Structures are given as structure tokens and as C-alpha cells.
């Protein structure tokens, strides 16, 4: 990706003042925003709503991650668009601010309005109770899981691992029942996970979080573990960090990290929360995802044939 060849974002075209923030963390922000079509050569529909993922790039690893996402999305959508993957319309760049010299790269997607991150349905903080009060029902969760597994199968057919499956990276339109997988900044080709991953640590499988990746024999099961954690969160209505704080608050009082807790108490933690799932097929499905030994963990093709998805 050559920054000089990426078109500049014309500020007067995009209504950032009234944009709705869908997700915000560190240097990444996702907006639902309207294009007013005043001055650009870029062909778009006036007053059309788009989703923009804006990434501030101030370090080399951020540039590499942004470049990787750009290349993967282009490769995936080169010939065939998949219904479970957000379709990239273009990429633009803009200055972070008049006083900040760093560039922001803006991924523009035109098929995501009315989608919310699954995080909205899994995060029930008392200060956000009204906004996050919705809970996914059994059929919605099952539909999301089925679409997600099919999407991950498609990705692997293209020789890619997503590498960062979590509720914040899965958008869901409750009206249509459709989901979209986003954020390919941590993705990699199968068989190449030989250096430190930039994935969210809470969702990494045991063999990745605590061992040298150079010893990893099979990286195709990484997304399967993360899928299992995400399903537990959807059923419990809380993200994994909240579940641990509720169940074991002493972990944080004693300054033990989340990963250190999972290292010493993984089996009992997931067994306890899996038992709260009423559907026995869902319990079995999650158990197949959350096997600590990769060779015992189900692959995606096996999961597609599981009774839970029938």
C-alpha cells in the first residue's frame, strides 16, 4: 500500500459532526456517517450512509496492520463478495487533526448501516444499561454462529485466518438477521503464525497465549477457540472480562492478569459458564470449540455438521 496513491478524504464531503460512533478503542474508531457529495471525484450516492473505520497510524506496526487489512480485503473481494464479510468500497486518508501530524486511514464500507457490533448485546455495564439492554435470543445466536462459521470456512478457503474473532468485530443487523465480519488487521495466511499476534489476548487460545508461536503446529484452530469464547459471551450477555470480575473479583484485587487467571483456572471457568447455556446442542458445540489441545478441537468443517447448526 503506497500512502501517496491513496486519495485524500475531503472533509466537507463527510458529515463527521453528526456521525454516530459505533465503536471506539485506542487509535481505531468506527463511524456511521453520511456523504453529502459536494466536491469529490469519487462516485458515490449523495446523502448515502456509509460506515468508516478510521485508524490512526503513528507506528510502523500500525501501518503494517493497516496494509495487511487493505490487502486481505482486496484479495477476498477481488472476484467474489461474501455475504458475511464487509465489502470495502475504498480507502481514504486524512490528517488526525490540524495539530497532529499523523495520518488516519479510513476504510469505507457501504453495506453496513443498521448493523451493531455484537458487543452491544454482550456488554451490560450499569452505566450503559439502557443502551445495551437488548439480549440476543436463542435463534438469533444460532443464526449468527451459523453465518460466522460459514464465513470462517470461506476465509480458510482463501487461505486466511481472521485472528481476532470477538463481539466487537462482528456486526449484526437485527432487522435482517445478517452479520458481517470486520477488522482484518490481525489476519494472516494459514501456516504463517510464527511471530507475535496482534489479536485481543482474552480471545486467544491457550497454546497461542502462553507458548512460543514458533512451536505452533496448526494455526487453523485459532479462530475456533475465539468463536467458542464469543458464543459463551452471547449466551451470558457479558464479555469475558466482566464474567471473571463477577465470579472472581479477587483476581483483580490481587493484580493477577486476566490471562494469568485463565492459565490457572480455564477448565472450571468455561465449564461453569457453559452449563448456564440451556440448549444441550449449544453446550456440546461450545465444548468442541474450547478444547485446550488443538488436535482435540473441532475444525470448521466439523462444526458446520454439528447438530446445533441443523
Q: For each of the chain's 310 residues, which pLDDT tens digit applies?
A: 565 567 777 777 888 888 888 777 778 888 888 887 655 555 566 667 788 888 888 777 778 888 888 888 888 876 566 888 888 888 888 876 666 667 888 888 876 667 777 766 655 443 333 333 467 888 999 999 999 999 999 999 999 999 889 888 888 888 888 888 888 888 888 877 655 565 566 777 777 766 655 556 667 888 998 998 888 888 877 766 665 555 554 444 443 444 555 555 555 556 555 566 888 899 899 889 988 778 889 999 999 999 999 8
Predicted local confidence at residue 25, as pLDDT: 75
The CATH number of the structural domain formed by 116-309 is: 1.10.510.10
Cα 5 to chain centroid, rounded: 28
Whether 3-109 shares its CATH topology with 116-309 is answered no
Cα 169 to chain centroid, rounded: 2
Predicted local confidence at residue 271, as pLDDT: 59
Predicted local confidence at residue 118, as pLDDT: 73
pTM: 0.80
Predicted local confidence at residue 183, as pLDDT: 84
CATH architecture of the domain with range 3-109: 2-Layer Sandwich (3.30)
Tell me if 152 sits within 8 A of 122, measured CB to CB.
Answer: no
Tell me if 308 sits within 8 A of 142, measured CB to CB.
Answer: yes
Predicted local confidence at residue 215, as pLDDT: 54
Domain ranges of the chain: 3-109, 116-309
Four-point Cα dihedral 131, 138, 82, 89, nearest 10:
-10
Amino acid at each position: 500500500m503506497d500512502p501517496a496513491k491513496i486519495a485524500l478524504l475531503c472533509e466537507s464531503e463527510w458529515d463527521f459532526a453528526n456521525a454516530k460512533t459505533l465503536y471506539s478503542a485506542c487509535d481505531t474508531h468506527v463511524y456511521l456517517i453520511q456523504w453529502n457529495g459536494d466536491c469529490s471525484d469519487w462516485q458515490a450516492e449523495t446523502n448515502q450512509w456509509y460506515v468508516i473505520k478510521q485508524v490512526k497510524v503513528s507506528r510502523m506496526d500500525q501501518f503494517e496492520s493497516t496494509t495487511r487489512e487493505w490487502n486481505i480485503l482486496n484479495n477476498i473481494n477481488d472476484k467474489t463478495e461474501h455475504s458475511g464479510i464487509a465489502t470495502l468500497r475504498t480507502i481514504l486518508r486524512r490528517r488526525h487533526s490540524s495539530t497532529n501530524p499523523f495520518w488516519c486511514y479510513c476504510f469505507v464500507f457501504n453495506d453496513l448501516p443498521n448493523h451493531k457490533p455484537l458487543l452491544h448485546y454482550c456488554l451490560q455495564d450499569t452505566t450503559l444499561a439502557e443502551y445495551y439492554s437488548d439480549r440476543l435470543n436463542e435463534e438469533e445466536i444460532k443464526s449468527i454462529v451459523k453465518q460466522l462459521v460459514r464465513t470462517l470456512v470461506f476465509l480458510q478457503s482463501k487461505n486466511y485466518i481472521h485472528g481476532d474473532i470477538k463481539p466487537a468485530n462482528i456486526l449484526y443487523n437485527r432487522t435482517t438477521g445478517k452479520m458481517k465480519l470486520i477488522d482484518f488487521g490481525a489476519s494472516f495466511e494459514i501456516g504463517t503464525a510464527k511471530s507475535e499476534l496482534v489479536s485481543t489476548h482474552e480471545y486467544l487460545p491457550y497454546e497461542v497465549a502462553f507458548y512460543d508461536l514458533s512451536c505452533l503446529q496448526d494455526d487453523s484452530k485459532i479462530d475456533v477457540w475465539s468463536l467458542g469464547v464469543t458464543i459463551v459471551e452471547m449466551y451470558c450477555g457479558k464479555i469475558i472480562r466482566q464474567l471473571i470480575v463477577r465470579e472472581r473479583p479477587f483476581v483483580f484485587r490481587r493484580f493477577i492478569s486476566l490471562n494469568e487467571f485463565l492459565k490457572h483456572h480455564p477448565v472450571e471457568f468455561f465449564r461453569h459458564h457453559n452449563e448456564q447455556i440451556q440448549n444441550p446442542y449449544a453446550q456440546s458445540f461450545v465444548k468442541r470449540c474450547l478444547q485446550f489441545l488443538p488436535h482435540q478441537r473441532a475444525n470448521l468443517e466439523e462444526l458446520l455438521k454439528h447438530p446445533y447448526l441443523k
